[in-house]
Structure 1
């Protein structure tokens, strides 16, 4: 989702979990987890569930940390620099989280992740589920004075599919009729399944019925783009606050790179009367201790916390809010490298990492060791997808890992393999990378190098497939297992592993064409099983995250699997 998101994020996001970090995350954040060896919280220190955030904030005593002093404003930590703010080419959760506050999509999600009107006031759907007609609000304006019209969506979605933009998320728009054919140069733009019937009426025709279609429209890559503004700024669009335009509840008025972003209320937003805040400052503190110190000093109102920090705050009787962010964290292998093309080596590495110990002793929250790729937040047919598909890989099996490693070395005809893992530069990311490095050394005798770099550099290395192994995370863009499983389609923009399977691609095609929900879900089970057999990724854990909120905020904070950070409707304490 996802999240939804690349929830293409890598380790440094770990820190943002603490806030989060794609989008289909997406990138999306930090790592939080606990394990059954962690003592059960007492009644006074139990984590607050995400579904009762407003009630918890109103009832809890947070006077010890009253928050920032500026009136009608909050400061939140997003941990890392957004690599870019051009929705067509964005892939990370941090960027999508910022975008959510400054650009309004056709539809948006409410606090319960239900689809609600955005730019589109109403819509209708044909009986066969293929054609949607959206009636847009009249009177909405971009910050350059241009009206928000159906043409802004046509321009954005056509750009998403245009090969020259090289969007990693182009495949997302294959849901539109002839989307893939246009992307491959087989048809012209006039045959695309979306068109402006008028300035305020947009018709969309799908390639196939999709029960999750409306929820995908809330995702950042489907945001509108004003063509006049894009033509004015060209390739610089979205690189600075004054090089893009806004139609959402806030406008970006300042972007101090690697430091902070300032958002100020947009008086022209159609729903401005419901926006209580005048300003949101988003700071980029990627050191967990520095973030906590800033919170306690009254410089930040919302931060993510590590497992150790959460326990410390509970010890002060300060409420810690926990939520399942719907993301899956894993090692992603570059199968273009000869050694990693060997499936037994990939399996050996996967089985050699003690995920239960990792979640219990390093992450220390409600995160769960992964026994598959798609996480528990995703719906299945009647229950959660993970319940229906079952456990597909062991959370830890060092003996089998050793046997697989010996077989892999024999098949490769070598005595050892040399591999490098790229990682984020936050303190949490470095800690997690060190854990993986030690696990492989102890349990396999495999010594890998770790290369530390900034978040933006990691994303570039992933997109360019310039890595051997990367510690990565993916969050949901919408609530369906496809938001995870279509990542690994041959040639897919977010398939950084170069995994290619004819059987896998055929199953994806069947999912997209199938109308019977039970049959469709059966194909999704098969996809998950095939992925966990081939293992182009090594699932480690399914993340939950902890965060704390200052006494200044009375409610309106939204942190879910499908909205990693949403502060649009925050209300302040009186």
Structure 2
């Protein structure tokens, strides 16, 4: 599922695949014996959730650390990124790939004891498609846009929602406007309970107790979200009626801990694990590896860090209402010239950031598609190798020169040219990288106003509200593992398209990559995505800074961990502790 966060380490790519062993000294051996029931497991996050515990509205990976235990979709994925059964026990396509029918598990229940049915599936997708969803802060439209009748229903032109149909209590059919190459991904979104939200207006769902309050957030997952001290601690308790059987653990407790003290707490056993989105820092690898009580999980991250450019801004009216209307967008004159954005890219020593901050445990990537997908192209897109001389030459050519000998360039009209740079607190790598990037840009004559970092919830709100005086923003993306399609982040009308990039040619390529029947040919689709990646790197709405390794760690008393390429949280009902 698509989420954003700080390292996100906001997050994926190293040469080679698979997990690396923590050591060769036998530290990774599992405890002997049968799984034991009981016990509490404590995890650490360095940033608190924003407080929106609803799959259709949350926006940060910190909420995901709660929701991954409480909510489920019809399908999940295995280590090969293939879709497998979850709340659905089977599925069948029609001949032309425009419909897929799922048989649902009859023993699945919501945390409050209500039965899970096809009506919940219909309600979830209908809500994603309801007029006003985006205005209320929703950004998950991409899971619904290919449904039959989506356009008419989402704009209010029709009150009929034919895209998802309950055949009976335990059978549901997804109907698409055209043959859909991403049908299983689209049908895998986490389901929310109709009986909780059916009478709640769409604008009020983000403020509803079923979205905000521990004990009121209801899912079908193995753990219930029962208690929280906001900004400090979040408690999940075993779901005794879980359809796959009651979990072994009694509780999982998330504690909010400053990144600087997480290692000490791991070593002394106050914290049992640290995982996504930020894990532990590359600089601490040897320290963690030397801790006899810990197991390290290292693998390529499923995402990347960016330096985003505010190419356009929404009007204050559209920003206030949440409307995304590209026809109203106002160009940001300081960065609207793509050659200026390209010059900035040449001025940033990305490999230097990797070597200095990530201790080499990451890669420069040049396209916003996870490297685990065959669609990723590491050759054709512009590589933007560090070249400050070229950066200066490009800026000179565009008329950005120092006219008053103060060491900084003025714009072509001779006015002071200052770029604001904004970033959040919480992730030490990002906090350390911001002044380094500022210095790199100032080395080629670009004056940068490095703002004071914001607490992440405040930062996220400012991004979503389209703060008009922002030019450059630092962020990370944790990517959807279901499909390489990047439109949920980078299409013009995507809610997460914070830089308000508007490129019709790039949008058309994204549409072409989904167009049947050609899109069912993997070679064709990879070629179209290659063309899109070239277009992205040319127009450059953001510079991808790096993709770092995921570095997760857990106490060896925790057993049953079966991590996925994109998450440590997998089958947590089978986790157990030895003491």
TM over 0.5: yes
Is it true that 1:449 corresponds to 2:417 in the alignment? no
2: CA distance, partners of 1:89 / 1:139: 27
- 1:5 maps to what in 2? 2
RMSD: 2.9
- 2:531 maps to what in 1? 526
Larger Rg: 2
Is it true that 1:326 corresponds to 2:308 in the alignment? no
Deviates more, 1:389-398 or 1:240-249: 389-398
Is it true that 1:256 corresponds to 2:257 in the alignment? no
Larger helix proportion, structure 1 or 2? 1
Secondary structure, in 3 states, of the residue corresponding to 1:82?
coil
Equivalences for 1:412-561 in 2 at 5 Å?
412-414=412-414, 416-426=416-426, 427-466=428-467, 467-482=470-485, 484-516=486-518, 517=521, 518-561=523-566
> Are the equivalent residues in 2 in contact too, given 1:62–1:550 (CA < 8 A)?
no
> Are the equivalent residues in 1 in contact too, given 2:38–2:248 (CA < 8 A)?
no
Is it true that 1:401 corresponds to 2:406 in the alignment? no
Secondary structure, in 3 states, of the residue corresponding to 1:521?
helix
Is it true that 1:301 corresponds to 2:291 in the alignment? no
CA change 1:96–1:412 in 2 (3 A) is: farther
- 1:24 maps to what in 2? none
TM (normalized to structure 1)?
A: 0.84
2: CA distance, partners of 1:299 / 1:527: 47
1: CA distance, partners of 2:114 / 2:507: 42
2: CA distance, partners of 1:170 / 1:97: 21
1: CA distance, partners of 2:21 / 2:517: 36
2: CA distance, partners of 1:198 / 1:82: 37
Using the TM superposition, give the Cα deviation of residue 355 of structure 1 relative to its aligned residue in structure 2, in angstroms.
0.6
Deviations 1:429-467 (A, max 9, x none): 311222222221224443232231112112211211213
1: CA distance, partners of 2:481 / 2:45: 22
1: CA distance, partners of 2:291 / 2:20: 23
1: CA distance, partners of 2:245 / 2:20: 25
Residue number among 261, 272, 286 corresponding to 1:311 in the alignment? 286
Secondary structure, in 3 states, of the residue corresponding to 1:512?
coil
Equivalences for 1:169-318 in 2 at 5 Å?
169-190=140-161, 192-218=162-188, 222-230=189-197, 231=199, 234=205, 235-236=207-208, 237-273=210-246, 275-285=247-257, 287-303=258-274, 304-314=279-289
Is it true that 1:98 corresponds to 2:66 in the alignment? yes
- 2:108 maps to what in 1? 140
> Are the equivalent residues in 1 in contact too, given 2:14–2:547 (CA < 8 A)?
no
- 1:43 maps to what in 2? none
> Are the equivalent residues in 2 in contact too, given 1:48–1:56 (CA < 8 A)?
no
1: CA distance, partners of 2:24 / 2:58: 34
CA change 1:501–1:442 in 2 (3 A) is: same
2: CA distance, partners of 1:58 / 1:183: 56
Using the TM superposition, give the Cα deviation of residue 412 of structure 1 relative to its aligned residue in structure 2, in angstroms.
3.9
Deviates more, 1:223-232 or 1:538-547: 223-232
CA change 1:544–1:208 in 2 (3 A) is: farther
Q: Which runs of 5+ in 2 are unaligned?
A: 32-36, 313-331, 401-410
2: CA distance, partners of 1:194 / 1:239: 27
> Are the equivalent residues in 1 in contact too, given 2:14–2:362 (CA < 8 A)?
yes
1: CA distance, partners of 2:29 / 2:264: 19
- 2:129 maps to what in 1? 161
2: CA distance, partners of 1:428 / 1:485: 27
> Are the equivalent residues in 2 in contact too, given 1:433–1:450 (CA < 8 A)?
no
> Are the equivalent residues in 1 in contact too, given 2:124–2:192 (CA < 8 A)?
yes
Q: How many residue pairs get matched?
A: 523
1: CA distance, partners of 2:340 / 2:232: 41
CA change 1:270–1:331 in 2 (3 A) is: same
Is it true that 1:360 corresponds to 2:330 in the alignment? no
Using the TM superposition, give the Cα deviation of residue 332 of structure 1 relative to its aligned residue in structure 2, in angstroms.
1.2
> Are the equivalent residues in 2 in contact too, given 1:330–1:471 (CA < 8 A)?
yes
CA change 1:502–1:195 in 2 (3 A) is: same
> Are the equivalent residues in 1 in contact too, given 2:21–2:296 (CA < 8 A)?
no
> Are the equivalent residues in 2 in contact too, given 1:241–1:255 (CA < 8 A)?
yes
CA change 1:301–1:111 in 2 (3 A) is: farther
Deviations 1:252-285 (A, max 9, x none): 1112211121111101111124x32221111222
1: CA distance, partners of 2:42 / 2:568: 16
Residue number among 555, 564, 575 corresponding to 1:570 in the alignment? 575
Using the TM superposition, give the Cα deviation of residue 228 of structure 1 relative to its aligned residue in structure 2, in angstroms.
2.1
Equivalences for 1:88-127 in 2 at 5 Å?
88-127=56-95
Secondary structure, in 3 states, of the residue corresponding to 2:473?
strand
- 1:80 maps to what in 2? 47
> Are the equivalent residues in 2 in contact too, given 1:97–1:564 (CA < 8 A)?
no
Using the TM superposition, give the Cα deviation of residue 239 of structure 1 relative to its aligned residue in structure 2, in angstroms.
0.9
Using the TM superposition, give the Cα deviation of residue 223 of structure 1 relative to its aligned residue in structure 2, in angstroms.
1.6
Using the TM superposition, give the Cα deviation of residue 357 of structure 1 relative to its aligned residue in structure 2, in angstroms.
0.8
Deviates more, 1:402-411 or 1:433-442: 402-411
> Are the equivalent residues in 2 in contact too, given 1:140–1:147 (CA < 8 A)?
yes
> Are the equivalent residues in 1 in contact too, given 2:49–2:63 (CA < 8 A)?
yes
Deviates more, 1:484-493 or 1:73-82: 484-493
- 1:369 maps to what in 2? 364
